[in-house]
Chains A and B, each alone.
Chain A
Amino acid sequence: RKEVEQDPGPFNVPEGATVAFNCTYSNSASQSFFWYRQDCRKEPKLLMSVYSSGNEDGRFTAQLNRASQYISLLIRDSKLSDSATYLCVVITDKLIFGTGTRLQVFP
């Protein structure tokens, strides 16, 4: 089993839709979690950290479920500009990137 797993997608959603991605991790000792965004042929950039109690940043909500060992990213009111690949990052004694979930928002 991979240490960090993501559904590669693509998730094709219309503008204005709500979409959610999950990222599962295998190491229960994982300490910190993040979501990065990567546009096509560009570098990854930090989108948001994931806190134990869940956190929101505008249209984006990140949540952590330690019991089931996954993190999630919810995007409300999707915009065309949200089209990108979303990478989850899990930190144990090392930093591990997921392979990413591709989101395509269409008009």
Chain B
Amino acid sequence: DAEITQSPRHKITETGRQVTLACHQTWNHNNMFWYRQDLGHGLRLIHYSYGVQDTNKGEVSDGYSVSRSNTEDLPLTLESAASSQTSVYFCASSGDGYEQYFGPGTRLTVT
């Protein structure tokens, strides 16, 4: 069965470190998205991609970067982790329609 996975599921890191969160989908979807979810804010879009070599900034992109070298993966990098980036991060993908399929999430704590 097709799926979307994220790793790690939980991560604790220190302020200033670079962190990369992995997202891998086997739906063969062109569109991939990264969100963060915080209490009171709901899901906020960080970056998204509509295909290989395509990346776009979302609503809260400062301090984050992505790259898309193949269809299946969209890793999210925090260049220099800050405590404000403590959050739950969800990756999602979609095909031709609007329905998004979400990964199980990564809980990141920056100390």
Contact = CB atoms under 8 A, between A and B. Distances in A.
B is a partner of A: yes
Count class of interface residues, chain A: 10 to 19
A14 interface: no
Interface in A81-107: 87, 89, 91, 94-95, 97-100
Nearest to A34: B98
Contact of A43 (B42, B98, B99, B105): B105
Interface in B54-111: 90, 98-100, 102-105
By secondary structure, the B interface counts as loop
By secondary structure, the A interface counts as strand
B97 to A, nearest CB: 9
B32 to A, nearest CB: 13
Interface of A: 32, 34, 41-46, 87, 89, 91, 94-95, 97-100
Given A44-B43, A45-B102, 16 more contacts: A34-B98, A34-B99, A41-B105, A42-B105, A44-B90, A46-B99, A46-B100, A87-B43, A89-B98, A94-B45, A95-B45, A95-B100, A97-B42, A99-B41, A99-B42, A100-B42
